[in-house]
Each structure stands twice: as C-alpha cells, then as structure tokens.
Structure 1
C-alpha cells in the first residue's frame, strides 16, 4: 500500500472517530430543550457530555491537520471552495463551547434559557452542515483545470448534499438520544429511550436513501456491497436494542452505523479526494493532491507513536466517567444571595 493510500485511510479513520464521538455530543445538545423539561434535566444532559465533548473535538482538529499535511491541494481547494459553509460550522462550534461555559455563570432562568438556545442551534448547525459538506465531497464539485472551485455557496446546496445533511442530522440525533438513555437514569432515561425509537423511524429511510443514491452514482463493488447493508442492519439493530432497554448494545450499534456509513462514503470516494463535475480529469486524487513521500514518511512515524497514546488516554477518560447520572447527582442551584455570601 502506498503512503498516499495509508494517509487516505488514516484521514477516513479520523473522520469516522469524530462523527461517532462528536455525533452523540451534537445529538445531546440538539435535544436539550426537547428532553430537558426543566433546568435539572438540562443539567443532567450537559453533564453526560461535559467531561468529553472538548476531547471529542480533537478528532476534528487532527483530521484537518492531517489533511493539510498529507494532501495540501485537497485542503486548499476544500477550505477555499467551502469557505462560507466551514465558517458557519466553526462559528457554531465556538458558540457551543462558549454556551457550555457561560450557561451557569448567572443563576437566572432567562440567562440559562438564552444559552440553552445557543447550545441547540450550535449543535444542529454542524450536524447538518457536515453532511452537506461530505455530500459535496463524495458527489463532486465544479473544479477547473487548476483544481480551483468555480461554484458558489448555492452550488453546494443541491438535493444529494442536502439529503446528506438530513442524514447526518437524524443519525446524530438518534445517536445522542441513545447515549442519553445509556448515561442517565430515571424519567429522562425513559423519555430518551422512547425518543430514540421515534427518531429511528425517520433515520432509517433517510439514511437508506442517501446510501442507495451514493451507491448508484458511484457503482457497486465488494466493499460497498458489504458496508451498505451493514450500516442498515446496525441502525435497525440499535433501535431495537434501545427499545428493549439494552442501551449498551443500542449505543454500540448506532456507533457501528456511523462507522459503516462513513467507511461507505470514503470507499465510494477513493481514489478521488474531491471529484470534479466539470471533467473527471480535473479531479483531485490521492496522487495529485498529496505531499512528498518524505513528508508522508515522517508523518507516518509520528502517527504510529502518538495515535496509541491518544486512544489510550481518551479511552481512560470514558472509563472514569462511565457512571449513569440522575437527578440525585445534580446539586440545587444556589440562590443569588448565597452566591455572594
């Protein structure tokens, strides 16, 4: 396997990890005012992801850095052509982080409600736009002979990409609801489990339509013929397991759905990294978009040393914070007079 193929695979793994881990973060944030009937419920929901959400975002940073270093031409064209969409995602990620930190700074219902709305909006936005972005990456964009994007923001909003956005949004909402049913106890656990089943009725046909559209556009091969049904089976299995109260299996299977679906997309994309809809000869590939072999060699050694360390540390973090959270674990908010006493 050439180093360019190795790094294409590593970038696919990084994006897969990001979607699995940040996916339930987005889902929890988006459902904050749906499942959270009062402030205590919302504090429970935020506390389920509080120790891990910022660590989950590291996968995005590493995926972007790896793309920049391994495939600079891909990075340059992607971030210039998708500039406005990616800027919206960046603003949403910043707003979400600020909202998590500022929500508890003032003990008034109005203050918390304002930041709760920010969390919801800034969770839905990237959950939707990442699907739109990957719909364009896999489906192709207008690239000229110089590998320059010659479209506009509206060019990116075609039916296939919008279906991709709806798919990621529904999958992340489902993944988040299953995660909440796994990480909470009491009434909120029951409601999260019921909501996950209802979300599944929407996620299954939408995800199936998106994968079938991709399959017909890019042609079938052995790998996609396995990954597509695997994603569908995992999705249905995750819904059924959650409905039966087996939230651990439910979360594992919804995570498996995201893994299989992301692998499906990268398999359909290869060996391109950004196809051109003007002329296939103008497409960016793993060969013409890559760095030099020397750069890739150094990066490979660094990745071989650092990746296991990062995985072990993050796995340890999830193990430490593995307990369920209920209303009994949430202390009462101090009254304003007590805060200054």
Structure 2
C-alpha cells in the first residue's frame, strides 16, 4: 500500500506528524509538500505524480488557505474550487483522498471560515477527513494548553504530532479492514495542466536544483528578458512555481489586452537568502490567455506592482533581477461536468477522529502532553 502526501510545512518537518505516520503506517509514503503554499499547489504537484501508483492521497492546506483569506487575497469559494478540482483529479487517477484539517493558534478556539468550508465540502463530496483542530479544542476543554499543543503559531508540538501520526495510520488500517462500496458522482470542475518552463527556453538556460525531497529543472531568466507562455483563449494563468533562492524580480504578464505584475521575491532567511527552496505562488488576479499566449517580462525594480503576495518580501540590497522558474499552472476558464468514482465506507463516519479506533484519541493527546 502506498500513500501520497500533498501538503505544507507540517508535512515536511523532521519531527512532524508525518514522521510518526511513517513509523506506524503499513504503507510507503511519497511527499510532495512545501511550506507556506495554498491548495492550488496540490494541483501543480499532482500533474507530476498522477500516473504513479498510490492508494491514498493525503491533503493538507487549511492553515495557509486560511491565512490567504484573512489577508483578503482570495475567497473560500475559490479555495473550495481548488479542492474540488484536486479531489476529482485524485479520484480519476484511482487514488482515495483524505483531507487533513490541521491546527493553528489563530483558530484553536473558534473554527475559521476555511475549516467550516472544508468540513462542508467533505460531507458534500464524501471525502474522509481528519479534523485535528477539533481534537485539540476538545483536549483544551479537558485541560490541555495551547503552549503544550503547539510549538508555534502554525505547527503542532512534537508530543501531539506523535499521537496524530499514529492515529492517521490506524485510521487508514481501519479503512482497509472494512467493506467499501464503489460509487460515482458528477461534479463541476476546471481542467488543469502544467507548463514546464524548461521547455520554453534554450538548453543553456536550464538549471537543476534539488533537496532531500525533490529535484527539478528551472528556466533562468534575467531583468529585461521576456518569456512566451503558450496559454490559450479558454485558459487562465493560475500560478507559478519558482526557486525562492534566486534573486527575485518584478514580473509583468501581458495577454495583449491586460497587464498584471507581481514582485516575485520570496526568500525566507535574510542571512541565507540564496538557499534553494521551491515556492508555489498563486495569481489571485488570474490572467486570461490569448491566441498569442501570455508574455512574461522581468521588469526594473521601480516597476508598478499590481498584486501583493501572501509571502512576498522586499528586495535585499544588491539582490535583484533574476528568476528561476520551474513551471506554470494553467486551468480552463469554464467548468465541465466530470463523472468521478469514489469509495463509500458504510461502517465508518466520514470524520476520522470519530472512527472506533480513535475513541481514546483525546485522552492519548493529553497523556502525551503530560510526558513532554
């Protein structure tokens, strides 16, 4: 049995829940996760692994999606459409989705609009989900503290991660042990695909970057240069995957009728800004394609920026004028009805924390915190 993980920083931490899931799960684990990204990243990465065999696809984007809504950069409606597109793609590939709702300090006491949307989405789409935030709230009513449950504003403590990782593996084992029924539903969704930037430049402009998680090819372009992105009239440019260890630059995007611009400077550490790290950047103001495609141009540092980014940074002195681009996520403008298969589990609720195997999960969380 194999599991694919599409998520954020909680899924790549060395002592996060995924470490303990790996230790207890009766399956192999492949992760395609990046810290600080939104749910559209799952669509980008899924284009890379769609044809690989995985029994389950575990999804985790609630925390960053919630931050983007709070910042006024997107809406729950658009995020729900991201999930609908992703879950449908997962199901069409033969994989079974599981949605995680992980906690952050910002909504430990009261559900966020994105948490409520995701729960309702899972009920509507019949997607099994694991609301860890709800578990933490219940534990707090019995005396657990935020300081013990969370290591910082967006990541659960190691003691809590041990319990959650093991619980998730137990739930998958339980799903495998009961009778399931093959069913199907028709959903309205947008088709998506990736355009790899390495296919748009000369070979000498293609560079390879890698980490312990993944290696990819990037197109290197500099201030003053342009790139033609072949995005058609019935499509929109949805996002871009870059190396935020590059110097960064303001980029304009023009379809012949309209121009938008973004400051693509995304380093995390001012002391080590050149460290390689992939970053998937959403275009909240999506640009329509045209019969001639979209022209991307790297602009001077004083160029007018039309859209701010969730994790944008100001340029550092002497560090400007280069982008390293892995690819672009493109989606269709129109929704199309799609018949997608899914599995029903008559003996189990949709909410994993209510599985019979998890009747003591809150007690287990509290005991683990006592020993920390």
TM-score normalized by the length of structure 2: 0.23
* Structure with the higher fraction of residues in helix conformation: 1
* Structure with the higher fraction of residues in strand conformation: 2
TM-score normalized by the length of structure 1: 0.25
Q: Which has the higher contact order (CA 8 A, sep 6+)?
A: 1
